[in-house]
């Protein structure tokens, strides 16, 4: 397993210029989307952007640092509630809630990461699973329900576009989320392609060797938790603004499980995988529902298993393998390893 992940973490060997051009084209297409599709589809795509930020964050922890989390829905909930409470109770403008959500989740995630340091594999799975299950119950707790709205949740208003921009609310929110996502992906990219990323991978693959080389494992592992939670919290805030409502039922354990599913389906330790995974968790349940009202989950389960059969290392992994094959056929560049 380690070797496969190591392979998928290897930087792609495509030339930088064509890659940048590709990115630019992609960016233009994405920016044009809200004018090409309906408001409803724009809203769905906004959710895809939001989920992709979560998956990137979870990937930092699970993919790059090898720590499993079955409870990231909890951080998503914290981010969402912080945004909702600030907007609803304190009249804070929506855009100002994003950094607050991120910062708070960074702290909470880091603190949660400290005891989690001693837990590995199954034990960490239990601890995070417990976090995910407990979060809705904590939100309902009577001591804090004057802020959280208890079981009723909080309804918030959708922001209007600023400066009299000729956009509708959905289009504006799409661009707003896209801008935040761009910042988060840029952050994630720099983090993962640099020294920190190498340290995280080293800890995942060779913890003892990493320690010997002077990497502070404990520090990095907690930090990975914190940063991962921060990404998720930012996304949670965006999600709350997009959906205009938060309630304990919005953050059930199934949300956390979808996130994990998204990371794996998208591609472990892959930045682009976050987008594939987000598309999957946004659209595949809808497709399953279209196929069968009687047992939509059964169809969804078949999709999950089917994806893992066809692409055991995720969509991003499969694409990478496909490119490598094409290139080998073309015989253009020699095989590079790792």
Partner 1 sequence: METFLHQVIAGLATGGIYASVALALVMIYQATHHVNFAQGEIAMFSTYIAWSLIQAGMPYWVAFFLTIVIAFVLGVLVERIIVRPVEQAPVLSVVVVFIGLLVIFNSLAGWIYTYTIKTFPSPFPEKPPFGTHLVSSHEIGAVGVTLVVLALLYSFFRFTPLGLAMRAAAQNPESSRLVGIRVGWMLALGWGLASAIGAIAGMMVAPIVFLDPNMMSGILLYAFAAALVGGIDNPGGAVLGGFIVGVLENVLGAYVIGNDLKLSVALVLIIGVLVIRPSGLFGRVHVTRV
Partner 2 sequence: MSAKQLVVSAGVSIGLALAAPYALAQKKYDAGASDTEIKIGNTMPYSGPASAYGTIGKAAAAYIKKINEEGGVNGRKINFISVDDGYSPPKTVEMARKLVEQDQVLLLWGPLGTPSNTAIQKYMNAKKVPQLHVYTGATKWNDPKNFPWTMGWQPSYQAEARIYAAHLLKTKPDAKVAILYQNDDYGKDYLKGFKDGLGAKAATMIIKEVSYETSDPTVDSQIVQLQGSGADVFFNITTPKFAAQAIRKAYDIGWKPVQYLNSVSASIGSVLKPAGVEKAVGIFSVEYLKDPQDPAFANDKGMNEWREFMKKYYPEGNITDVFNVSGYASIQTLIQVLKQCGDNLTRENVMKQAANLKNFEVNVLLDGIKINTSPTDFAPIEQEQMAKFDGKEWVRFGETFGK
User: Per rule CB under 8 A, is residue 101 in the interface with partner 1?
Assistant: no
- Of 4, 160, 249, 289, which one interacts with partner 1 (CB under 8 A)? 4
Contacting residues for 282 by C-beta, under 8 A, at least 6 apart:
44, 47, 48, 51
Least Å from the CB of residue 166 to partner 2: 20
Pick the closer one to partner 2 by CB: 67 or 250.
Answer: 250
Partner in contact with 261, chosen from partner 1, partner 2, none, beta carbon below 5 to 8 Å by kind: partner 1
x/- binding map, residues 110-139, to partner 1, per CB under 8 A?
Answer: -----x--xxx-xx-xxx-xx--xx--xx-
182/83 Cα distance (integer angstroms): 20
- Of 48, 56, 68, 202, which one interacts with partner 1 (CB under 8 A)? 68
Q: List the beta strands (DSSP E) in the chain.
A: 154-155, 245-246
80/77 Cα distance (integer angstroms): 5
Partner in contact with 162, chosen from partner 2, partner 1, none, beta carbon below 5 to 8 Å by kind: none
User: Per rule CB under 8 A, is residue 254 in the interface with partner 2?
Assistant: yes
Least Å from the CB of residue 45 to partner 2: 11
Give the gyration radius of the chain's Cα atoms: 20
71: three-class secondary structure by DSSP? coil
Q: Report the candidate in 129, 147, 151 with the shortest Cα–Cα distance to residue 68.
A: 129
Taken in order 147, 151, 152, 157, the sign of the CA dihedral is positive
| Interface stretch with partner 2, choices 84-92, 110-118, 260-268, 295-303 (CB under 8 A) | 295-303
What region, left, alpha or beta, does residue 121 occupy, with left being phi > 0 and alpha being psi -120 to 50 degrees?
A: left
Pick the closer one to partner 1 by CB: 124 or 173.
Answer: 124
User: Per rule CB under 8 A, is residue 223 in the interface with partner 2?
Assistant: no
* Beta strand 154-155 pairing with 245-246: antiparallel
What region, left, alpha or beta, does residue 124 occupy, with left being phi > 0 and alpha being psi -120 to 50 degrees?
A: alpha
Tokens representing residue 152 in the block: 């009723």
Least Å from the CB of residue 74 to partner 2: 15
User: Per rule CB under 8 A, is residue 295 in the interface with partner 1?
Assistant: yes
Least Å from the CB of residue 204 to partner 1: 12
User: Per rule CB under 8 A, is residue 259 in the interface with partner 2?
Assistant: no
Binding site for partner 1 (CB under 8 A): 1, 4-5, 62, 68, 115, 118-120, 122-123, 125-127, 129-130, 133-134, 137-138, 140-142, 208, 257, 260-261, 263-265, 268, 294-298, 300-305, 307-309, 312-314
């Amino acid at each position: 397993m380690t070797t496969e992940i190591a392979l998928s973490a290897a930087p792609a060997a495509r030339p930088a210029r064509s890659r940048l051009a590709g990115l630019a084209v992609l960016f233009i297409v994405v920016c044009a989307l809200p004018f090409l599709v309906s408001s409803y589809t724009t809203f769905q795509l906004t959710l895809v952007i939001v989920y992709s930020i979560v998956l990137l964050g979870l990937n930092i922890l699970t993919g790059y640092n090898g720590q499993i989390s079955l409870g990231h829905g909890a951080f998503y909930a914290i981010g969402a509630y912080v945004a909702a409470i600030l907007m609803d109770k304190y009249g804070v403008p929506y855009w100002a809630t994003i950094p607050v959500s991120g910062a708070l989740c960074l702290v909470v995630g880091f603190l949660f990461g400290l005891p989690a340091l001693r837990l590995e594999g199954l034990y960490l799975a239990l601890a995070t699973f417990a976090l995910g299950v407990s979060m809705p119950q904590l939100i309902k707790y009577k001591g804090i329900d004057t802020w959280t709205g208890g079981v009723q949740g909080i309804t918030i208003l959708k922001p209007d576009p600023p400066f009299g921009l000729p956009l509708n609310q959905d289009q504006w929110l799409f661009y707003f989320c896209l801008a935040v996502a761009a910042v988060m992906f840029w952050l994630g990219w720099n983090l993962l392609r640099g020294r920190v990323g190498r340290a995280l991978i080293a800890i995942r693959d060779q913890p003892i060797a990493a320690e010997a080389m002077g990497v502070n494992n404990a520090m990095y592992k907690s930090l990975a938790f914190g940063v991962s939670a921060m990404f998720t919290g930012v996304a949670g805030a965006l999600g709350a603004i997009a959906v205009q409502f938060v309630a304990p039922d919005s953050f059930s354990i199934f949300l956390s499980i979808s996130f994990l599913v998204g990371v794996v389906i998208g591609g472990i330790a892959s930045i682009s995988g976050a987008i594939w995974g987000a598309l999957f968790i946004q659209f595949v349940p809808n497709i399953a529902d279209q196929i069968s009202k009687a047992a939509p989950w059964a169809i969804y389960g078949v999709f999950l298993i089917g994806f893992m059969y066809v692409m055991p290392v995720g969509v991003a992994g499969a694409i990478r393998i496909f490119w490598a094959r094409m290139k080998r056929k073309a015989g253009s560049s020699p095989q590079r390893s790792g």
